[in-house]
Copies of this chain bind each other. A is one copy, B any other.
Amino acid sequence: MPRTGRRPGAGGTREKILAAARAQFARKGYEAATIRGIAAAARVDPKLVLHYFDSKEGIFRAALDFPFDPAEAIPELLKPGLEGLGVRLARFFLELWDSPAGARAHALIRSVVGSDDAAALMRDFATREILARLAQALELDHPQVRASLAASQLVGIAMLRYVVKVEPLASARADRLARWIGPALQRYFTDPSAIGSR
């Protein structure tokens, strides 16, 4: 049982709930999993689950330990409009990885690559909370393709810069890197010819 900062009893319960939640979300997906089912698997009262995590969404994010809240960040990035979105998104992503939250992002990649259950959680979360929000804001055909291609460029940068640490990407200044990949993201988002229909 991993140690937490809380007093042992409470920490143990919280971790027990999180472990049950990870198993349920991975097996059933987000929609079919329930607070009641998670509580039963963890052998605690459903009220205790809500006490710790507020909502199903809250327990899902805690189970994944996702390093930022897309419900807040994505609308913020979209607010100035589609123009310049690529560079803004790239900068946001690199600043996140370069911040203390980068360690959580790194841990997340580790668990997603190491476990099919974690990959299922991540797929569900990314599709619903990130890609759907981005796709909805795009004004061209194939918005899901566009959003996921942009995401793939960002994930690839994370892999080479922070995980494999390939030069010159590993040592490049974040703002420079954002100017290199920003236009590539922008092309996916707003260039009609970037995604042909056949």
User: Which residues of chain B are near A100, meaning CB under 8 Å?
Assistant: none
Interface centre among A110, A151, A180, A195, by most chain B C-beta atoms within 10 angstroms, is A180
A154-198 interface code vs B (CB 8 A; 1 in, 0 out): 111101110111111100100010011101100110000011101
Q: Which of A9-17, A21-29, A73-81, A142-150 contacts B (4 or more CB under 8 A)?
A: A142-150
Q: Is the CB of A154 within 8 A of B153?
A: no
Shortest CB-to-CB span from A140 to chain B, Å, is 13
Q: Which of A34-42, A54-62, A123-131 contacts B (4 or more CB under 8 A)?
A: A123-131
Contact among B148, B164, B187 for A112, CB-based, below 8 A: B164
Copies of this chain: 2
Interface of A: prevailing SS: helix
User: Which residues of chain B are near A112, meaning CB under 8 Å?
Assistant: 163-164
Minimal Cβ-Cβ distance residue in B for A146: B180
Contact among B113, B131, B155 for A156, CB-based, below 8 A: B155
User: Which residues of chain B are near A187, meaning CB under 8 Å?
Assistant: 184, 187
Shortest CB-to-CB span from A23 to chain B, Å, is 19
A90-124 interface code vs B (CB 8 A; 1 in, 0 out): 00000000000000000001101110000100110
